[in-house]
Structures are given as C-alpha cells and as structure tokens.
Amino acid sequence: MSQITRREFVTGAALTPFAIRAPNRDAQQSSTDSTQLDIVVAGAGHNSLIAAAYLAKAGYRCVVLEDQPRIGGGVGTAEVTLPGFKHDLASSVHGGMQSNPAMKDLDLANYGLSYIVPDPVMHTSFPDGSYLTVWRDFERTAREFDRINPRDGQAFRRIAAELEEVRALLGNEEKLAQHSLGNVWRRRLKMSAYDMACHVFEDSRCRAFALAAGHLGGDPPCEPGSYRSALSVVSSGRNGRPIAVGGSDALAQALARFITARGGTVLTNKRVTRLIIEDKRCAGVECADGTSYRGGKAVLSTLHVKHLLDMAPRALWPDDFVQNVGMWRPEVAMFIAHYAVKEPPKYPVAGGTLSPCESVTLVNPARLLRLEFDDANGQIDTEDPPLQIVCPTVADPSRAPGGMHTLKINGFQPYAIRQGPQHWEQLKHQVADAYLNTLRRLAPNLTDDRILGRYIVSPVDLERLNRHFWHGSAHAGYDGPGQSGDMRPVPGWSDYRMPIAGLYQTGACTKPGGSVNGNPGRNAAAVMLKDFGGSIEEVAKRIG
C-alpha cells in the first residue's frame, strides 16, 4: 500500500461527497452583487451569524459564506440516517446561549427560536444497578446522592450552598479573599476537575457522575483550574440544559432569517480559500469555486486560525503571531455515533424505567485521566468509555417521525491514531459497536430490532464536516490556561482584531472559547461596531 501523507489525506477526504440528505433548509441561496457589500463573513457558525446579525441590524450589508451545504457548523442538524430523523450533528444543549443578550437584542424568538428545558436534566446508571439523576428540583437531586451515600448527599447540599454564596466573587480573587470561605475557595479555584470530584464526594460513583457529566468541554479533567466542570452536577439542575425546538440548527436558521430580513445574504457551498489583500488591508475573500467577495468595511472570519494563517502571505502576519498559531494545540477529539431508533434508552430504576434526554456513562473516575495519555499515544480505548448520550426526541418529538427517536452517543478518541488517521474509516465501526454495547449493558432495550439506522462520525469525519473542528476538536482546540482568556487565539491579539487591517476574527478560536454561548460572536460585533464609530448598545436598542 502506498503511503499517504496526512495533508494529502485530509485534502482527498474533504472532496469525498457526504451522504447528507438534508439540504440547508432555509438559508438563502442567491447571487450577490459583491460591489455593494460592507462586510464579508467567512463561515456560518452561530458566533459569526450572531456577529453578522448585529452588523446587519446596524445597517451594514453582509454576506455570509459557508463551506458546507448547510449553515450552523456546531449547531448543524441534518437527516443523516433516515428521512424525517433530524440529528444534531454536534451540539444539542444551548445552556450558555440563554444568558446572551443577543437572544433579546435580535428578538430571536420572533424568528422561530424556542427552547425546551428537559427534566430530568441528566442521568447515569452503573453496571451494579445503582443510578443517579439530576432533576430541576434541587432536593430531589440531593436525595439521589443520599441514596448512594448519605455523606455524599450532605456534601452535595453543602458544596451547592457554598457555591451559591461565593459565586459572584469567583472572578475576583481580592474580594474572594475577604469572604469567610475565601481562602478555601482560592485553593479550590486552582483544583483540577478530578481533584474537585474526589474532594467533594466519597463514593466513586458520585465522583464518576460528577466527572462524566462535566467533561463536555475542551478542558482536560486533570488540568489545574478545571474544577468547575466537576461541579456542573451541582448547578445544572438549577439552570437546566435547554435544547432548541426542532433541532440545534433552529438557532442558525433564526439568525439567517434575521440577516436576510435586513438585506444580508447567506450562501452555502462557499469554501473560503484566500484573503484578498490590497494595500496591506484585507479587502475580501476568494472561494474555492472561483468567486470572490469584497467588503467595503471589513472581513470577519470564523475560520480556524490554523487555516487563516495560510490564506494571506506570511509576511503580513507578525512573527510572534505565526509562532503562537504554530503552538495551538487541539483537544482530545470527539467520536460520535448517531442512531435512528424506535425507542429511547430505558434505564431500569426503582418502580420502572427512566428515559432522560441526556445521560452519561463512566464507572471508574480515574478512567478520565487516561484520555490525555491515550491521546498522546494515539491509542483507541473503548474500556469503560466516558460517554454522553443524547436523546432529544424524548423532550422534542418534532425531530423524528411519530413515536420514533434520534439518539447520539458522544465519546472521546484520539484524532492521530497510531495506525494513521486514514485508518479511522475502517476502525470507526468497532468503536461505535463498543460504545453501543456499553450503553446496552445499562439500557438493555436498545436491541438490534429497535435500531433503524446509524451514521458514524470519527474524529477525522468531524473535521471533514466542519473544518473549524480542527483535528476533531469540538471547541476548535484545547481550553486550558495556555489557550484561554487573553491567550485565545494568541496573546496580544485576543480583542477580535487581527494583525491585518480590516480583518476580524470570531468563533471558538477566540475568547471565551467554544460551546454554544454566542459570546465570541457578540463580542466581535461590539469591537467592529466601535471601530466603525457606533456601539453595540445603541444597535441593540434599535427596534426591528
């Protein structure tokens, strides 16, 4: 067999047509008079769409160019198994989005966006038959921990009360130090998620649940400062984990409607390949199909910074910028299996079964510490896998034909496996089978006759479906101290302005990073509007 270099493989793979049945549902496809544009937006993830929506509201004429046949990126939804089964290709839960002012500023409810907050919020079952569930009702959840170990029930109540007391101070070490619990929390803030789970809970099942339920971000659980993810079991009941009615892409579709209603255009199948530079200023972009788009005011990118660098001559990027982008590291990649099923998972519980929208699996809490080790070794590992299982149709039946369900099993595996990433195509079926078997041991109703279709996404496929998920990174890259806050994407360039005049950057590569919270999008819009002599506050207040 001839050797394929990684670069050749990714290029070839990117050209392979995908069996995506759902075309982009609403996004406008029209020819655009490039001479009239103010802003060219490269990539149509929710962040860049939010930024474009604010800019369109301010009166700027925007075009949004999306590589894929559908918009949304990490909030994409498509019928990838069978007709009528709408699968969220990446995210399902839009927790962070709920507090984003864009929801009101852009009146997204009026553009078709609404949410359901499932209850129960999160569940886990163990092979010994025990289980834990997070409910919206705090005391009900506390009693779940009591049932496993009364001391852990008390610990759950105690840490929740303390967290409530110090929550507002957590971003301010000076003020925190003055609080009676301040010095305790100053140490906790530096803890890893693993240490925090072990610090709070005694029973390994409570620890495993806290870790598995929280490990959905780009922060490794052994990383100092990642403590917060181990406390999501404590706070997620209060906030809930909302899903968009109709599918994750309801957010992108609402934003696209907002933009087009203000004269903007959203185009799909437009891969941006090059920045047009005139007088050392970014004047527009070129696409793979030979078209080009010029923005009189600016270009806003949500392309991965690794790719952005190659789209303009090296001499235009400062050396430290180039070096920093070179050091950008991915996170442990995600592996996803989508199923069309006749029934949701039914976990045995006292008095019957439970079918939650979201559940997780993990038996041994220390297993999470292997993720980074396996990643570094390129080792596929399916033993006691930490999985997130999402069955949105139990809360939102509109996503599948009558009485049927969509099911998503998310796990973590290395992108660069020992065998070489090109071997994922053969190996992905074994990994998906192992994940399904793990779930079946806990929810035995998911027998073959109840499974109607399957669509597997290896880490390499994930990057192919969305180039912004660089090396299978769900948040565009690792989110530890070296790549978060003012380090994101690059120290000195974290204010959404890029080193080339006229070029701005948003999306998960910018602060505060990935997930569906829309903050990089709104922040980028605020900076751009300020540079154009306006303000986001003024634009937000405008009616209509």
Ligand X SMILES: Cc1cc2nc3c(=O)[nH]c(=O)nc-3n(C[C@H](O)[C@H](O)[C@H](O)COP(=O)(O)OP(=O)(O)OC[C@H]3O[C@@H](n4cnc5c(N)ncnc54)[C@H](O)[C@@H]3O)c2cc1C
Answer for which of 387, 409, 474, 526 binds ligand X (CB under 6 A) is 474
Interface pick for ligand X out of 24, 43, 141, 275 (rule CB under 6 A): 43
Is residue 275 near ligand X by the rule CB under 6 A?
no
Q: Please tell me whether residue 240 binds ligand X under the rule CB under 6 A.
A: no
Q: In degrees, to the nearest 5, what angle opens at C-alpha 383 toward C-alphas 379 and 388?
A: 100
- Closer to ligand X by Cβ: residue 63 or 142: 63
73 binds ligand X (CB under 6 A): yes
Residue 404: count other Cβ atoms within 10 Å of its Cβ: 19
Q: Applying CB under 6 A, does 334 fall inside the site for ligand X?
A: yes
Q: Does 507 bind ligand X (CB under 6 A)?
A: yes
Report d(CA 341, CA 371) in Å as an integer.
Answer: 29
The least CB distance from residue 405 to ligand X, in Å, is 17
Q: Give yes or no for residue 229 binding ligand X (CB under 6 A).
A: no
Q: Closest separation between CB of residue 352 and ligand X, Å?
A: 27
Q: 205 with 148: CB under 8 angstroms?
A: yes
Stretch that binds ligand X, among 27-35, 105-113, 141-149, 463-471 (CB under 6 A): 463-471
Judged by CB under 6 A, does residue 68 bind ligand X? yes
In angstroms, give the least distance from the CB of 381 to ligand X.
18
Residue closer to ligand X, measured from CB, 152 or 479: 479
Q: Is residue 514 part of the contact set for ligand X (CB under 6 A)?
A: yes
- Is 47 an interacting residue with respect to ligand X (CB under 6 A)? yes
Contact 511, 35 (CB under 8 A): no
HEC letters along 167-184: HHHCCCHHHHHHCCCHHH
Report if residue 272 touches ligand X, rule: CB under 6 A: yes
The reply on whether position 215 binds ligand X by CB under 6 A is no
214 lies in the binding site for ligand X (CB under 6 A):
no
Q: Does 469 bind ligand X (CB under 6 A)?
A: yes
230 sits in the region (left: phi over 0; alpha: psi -120 to 50; else beta) called: alpha
What H or E segment, with its residue span, contains residue 353?
strand 352-354
Query: What number of other Cβ atoms are within 10 A of residue 381's Cβ?
Result: 19
Q: Alpha helices, DSSP H only, in 328-367?
A: none
Choose between 113 and 200: whose C-beta lies nearer to ligand X.
Answer: 113
Residues near 539 by beta carbon (within 8 Å), at least 6 away in sequence = 54, 57, 58, 105, 529
The Cβ-side half-sphere exposure at 408, using a 13 Å CA radius, reads 29
Distances (CA, A) of 473 to 13, 237, 328, 330: 17, 27, 12, 6
Q: Which of 27, 40, 93, 166 binds ligand X (CB under 6 A)?
A: 93
* CB 302, min distance to ligand X, A: 5
Residue whose CB is less far from ligand X, 16 or 180:
16
Per CB under 6 A, the list member of 25, 338, 428, 468 interacting with ligand X is 468
Rounded (10°) angle between helices 204-214 and 193-200: 140
Give min distance, CB of 91 to ligand X, in A. Answer: 3
| Min CB(403)–ligand X separation in Å | 25
Q: Per CB under 6 A, which region of 65-73, 338-346, 374-382, 431-439 contacts ligand X?
A: 65-73
Q: Does 54 bind ligand X (CB under 6 A)?
A: no
Q: Does 475 bind ligand X (CB under 6 A)?
A: yes
CB of 45 to ligand X, least distance (A): 2
CA distances from 158 to 81, 201, 203, 206, 303 (A): 45, 11, 16, 15, 43
Q: CA-to-CA distance for 259 and 300, rounded, in angstroms?
A: 15
Nearer to ligand X, 361 or 515 (CB): 515
Kindly report the length of the chain: 544
414-443 residues labelled b (16+ CB within 10 A) or e (exposed)? bbbbeeebbebeeebeebbeebbebbeebb
Q: C-beta of 304: minimal distance to ligand X in Å?
A: 7
Number of neighbouring beta carbons within 10 Å of residue 177: 12
Handedness of CA 252, 255, 260, 265 (dihedral sign): negative
Considering the rule CB under 6 A, would residue 91 count as an interface residue with ligand X?
Answer: yes
Are 236 and 121 in contact, with CB atoms under 8 Å apart? yes
Asked if 271 is part of the footprint of ligand X (rule: CB under 6 A), the reply reads: yes
Binds ligand X by CB under 6 A, chosen from 65, 122, 233, 432: 65
* Nearest-approach distance from CB 421 to ligand X, in angstroms: 16
Tell which one of 515, 523, 539, 540 touches ligand X (CB under 6 A). Answer: 515
CB of 493 to ligand X, least distance (A): 17
Question: Which DSSP string corresponds to 257-325?
Answer: HHHHHTT-EEESS--EEEEEEETTEEEEEEETTS-EEE-SSEEEE-S-HHHHGGGS-GGGS-HHHHHHH
Residues that bind ligand X (CB under 6 A): 42-47, 65-68, 73-75, 90-93, 96, 271-272, 302-303, 334, 336, 410, 462, 466-469, 474-475, 507-508, 514-516
